[in-house]
A and B are shown apart, each in its own frame.
Chain A
């Protein structure tokens, strides 16, 4: 029975058809939420001093974006368009509170490091942006994939920035010293200003890689 159902879905459109795969891979590079759309900059400067909180934050945001995308997409036809923002916010906050409680229960020390930035996922432009731009107009499954893709696209940048900052700022990775003891930590890397410069350099590399040209 189950096999038959699966085949039927495949006929209409494969779960991981080319189009759906693109939803996952596009935000990683060509349409990255941080480096191309320049969204979610605030938290990517704030939680990237060390790798561990950055990874937790990336996973958390992926979770929230994916499931709020899914839920909004399911009820998208019943949301009156005049109050859609408040409906979206309510749903996002439900998932953020779930995430907040989960983090508090299982990784308390990381939760303390992330402090307000878990709660601030509610106002993260990436989450709201995907809801408005994608979930409100697309079916649940592609919306879910879109949420995961954008969450991971954000996560890739977060982890890259945190890797550089932790390595050069304190000479360690995941809290373990990896650089020799004579290495003097670069204080600029510990400041959000350093993260801003790193994000800029990543954008620079990405653009020269992808052949970006300024529009007039």
Chain B
């Protein structure tokens, strides 16, 4: 540590005002504050007490909360690889193969995103914000394991520039940056982002016979569409669950237990509901993520699914409500994306509404729009846009209530 400190102190004057690399001060500052706690002091006026929990520590907490998903995702990529190629392998080699597929995506996401962040910081002359540390980890976790690296780079650049920097950088963005990256790829290159051929990392190896890479959501959506077209008037009850059992290419692949643990094909970090819940506990326990958004998000998903169960005009609607929570990326989206403090609702009542609607819209999009088997991405982006409006009405209602109180008091 002493060595690092000395090294930094030696270089410092060159980056100070009047130094040789004055322009690059934000770059130096970013490295220094990344390694050591900042020694900035408060001004002589205004607040004098500063909390040790700064933006950097908050972001690091989120990254720690994401680690279970990342590690599990790496293992699962290897596990799916060996399932698809029909080879037996032990835990370590599964993990290594997964890491081989996942780590390049993480590196590309971080280097492109941080490169752009540094460029804008130097250009605008402000310090580099830590916001990207989380985004850079979220982006790989919402990509399929087979994603081409240049697409990751392109999506990251798009999301950081168009999603964040044009609005003024960290803290000013309207849309969740990682979801913007995913949405960009989803609409720009659907061939590499959706369908049934992208969810298992194969390398150069051949798949076993009978292999199908469809996700649980894909299978249910397809079954639902098929049954609606047939119009045979079959009872829909259980058709979705039956399809999950019968259409899985390995027996029992899509049992609700597997879906919960996450040993199913899907985006790198999204498959495991269990790991997302562990992350949620870390976020809630440290107070970094809003428990209101997480709880109301799951409640919204579950209650909307229950409501649709009673209507049940297609097979997707009839699927038991708890399947909606364990299938796809709804848990990941609610825990890590919806709780993004910048793009979520800011008022406490607003958070309940915001989270609930994310869950509800996710189920609605899944069930009613066969073109989008997964709804959490669009639901989060939609509610990001509506979050300021929710806040506006919550604040407005509060004003109205206080005004009324005043009116009665003066009567």
Residues of A within 8 A of B (CB): 184, 186-189, 191, 193-194, 197, 200-201, 204
B299: interface (CB < 8 Å): no
- Interface core residue of B166, B187, B189, B190 (most chain A CB under 10 Å): B187
B392: interface (CB < 8 Å): no
Q: Are A197 and B190 in contact (CB under 8 A)?
A: no
With a cutoff of 8 Å between Cβ atoms, the chain A residues found around residue B188 in the complex are 186-189, 194
List 21 contacting pairs A-B, 8 Å CB cutoff, sorted by A. Answer: A184-B189, A184-B191, A186-B188, A186-B189, A187-B187, A187-B188, A187-B189, A187-B190, A188-B184, A188-B187, A188-B188, A189-B188, A191-B187, A193-B187, A194-B187, A194-B188, A197-B162, A200-B162, A200-B166, A201-B162, A204-B166
The CA-CA distance from A201 to B162 in the complex, in Å, is 9
CB distance from B21 to the nearest CB of A (A): 25
With a cutoff of 8 Å between Cβ atoms, the chain B residues found around residue A204 in the complex are 166
CB distance from A35 to the nearest CB of B (A): 15
Task: List the B residue with the shortest CB-CB distance to A201.
Answer: B162
With a cutoff of 8 Å between Cβ atoms, the chain A residues found around residue B166 in the complex are 200, 204
The CA-CA distance from A121 to B198 in the complex, in Å, is 44
B183-231 contacts to A, CB under 8 A, are 184, 187-191
Interface of chain A: mostly helix, strand, loop or mixed: helix
With a cutoff of 8 Å between Cβ atoms, the chain B residues found around residue A191 in the complex are 187
With a cutoff of 8 Å between Cβ atoms, the chain B residues found around residue A189 in the complex are 188
With a cutoff of 8 Å between Cβ atoms, the chain B residues found around residue A184 in the complex are 189, 191
With a cutoff of 8 Å between Cβ atoms, the chain A residues found around residue B187 in the complex are 187-188, 191, 193-194
With a cutoff of 8 Å between Cβ atoms, the chain B residues found around residue A186 in the complex are 188-189
CB distance from A206 to the nearest CB of B (A): 14
- Interface core residue of A184, A191, A194, A197 (most chain B CB under 10 Å): A184
Residues of B within 8 A of A (CB): 162, 166, 184, 187-191
The CA-CA distance from A197 to B166 in the complex, in Å, is 12
CB distance from B155 to the nearest CB of A (A): 10
Task: List the B residue with the shortest CB-CB distance to A186.
Answer: B188
The CA-CA distance from A197 to B189 in the complex, in Å, is 17
Task: List the B residue with the shortest CB-CB distance to A184.
Answer: B189
CB distance from B222 to the nearest CB of A (A): 21
The CA-CA distance from A196 to B31 in the complex, in Å, is 37
The CA-CA distance from A144 to B184 in the complex, in Å, is 43
The CA-CA distance from A197 to B191 in the complex, in Å, is 22
Task: List the B residue with the shortest CB-CB distance to A169.
Answer: B188
With a cutoff of 8 Å between Cβ atoms, the chain B residues found around residue A188 in the complex are 184, 187-188
CB distance from B273 to the nearest CB of A (A): 30
Q: List 4 additional A-B contacts (Cβ < 8 Å) besides A186-B189, A189-B188.
A: A187-B190, A188-B188, A193-B187, A201-B162
CB distance from A22 to the nearest CB of B (A): 31
10 residue pairs, one from A and one from B, having the closest CB atoms: A188-B188, A186-B188, A188-B187, A187-B188, A187-B187, A187-B190, A191-B187, A197-B162, A187-B189, A184-B189
The CA-CA distance from A103 to B336 in the complex, in Å, is 53
The CA-CA distance from A187 to B162 in the complex, in Å, is 17
Task: List the A residue with the shortest CB-CB distance to B161.
Answer: A201
The CA-CA distance from A204 to B161 in the complex, in Å, is 12
With a cutoff of 8 Å between Cβ atoms, the chain B residues found around residue A194 in the complex are 187-188
Task: List the A residue with the shortest CB-CB distance to B188.
Answer: A188
CB distance from A49 to the nearest CB of B (A): 14
Task: List the A residue with the shortest CB-CB distance to B184.
Answer: A188
The CA-CA distance from A186 to B188 in the complex, in Å, is 5
With a cutoff of 8 Å between Cβ atoms, the chain B residues found around residue A201 in the complex are 162
Task: List the B residue with the shortest CB-CB distance to A189.
Answer: B188
With a cutoff of 8 Å between Cβ atoms, the chain A residues found around residue B189 in the complex are 184, 186-187
The CA-CA distance from A200 to B162 in the complex, in Å, is 9
With a cutoff of 8 Å between Cβ atoms, the chain B residues found around residue A200 in the complex are 162, 166
CB distance from A59 to the nearest CB of B (A): 31
The CA-CA distance from A200 to B187 in the complex, in Å, is 18
CB distance from A166 to the nearest CB of B (A): 15
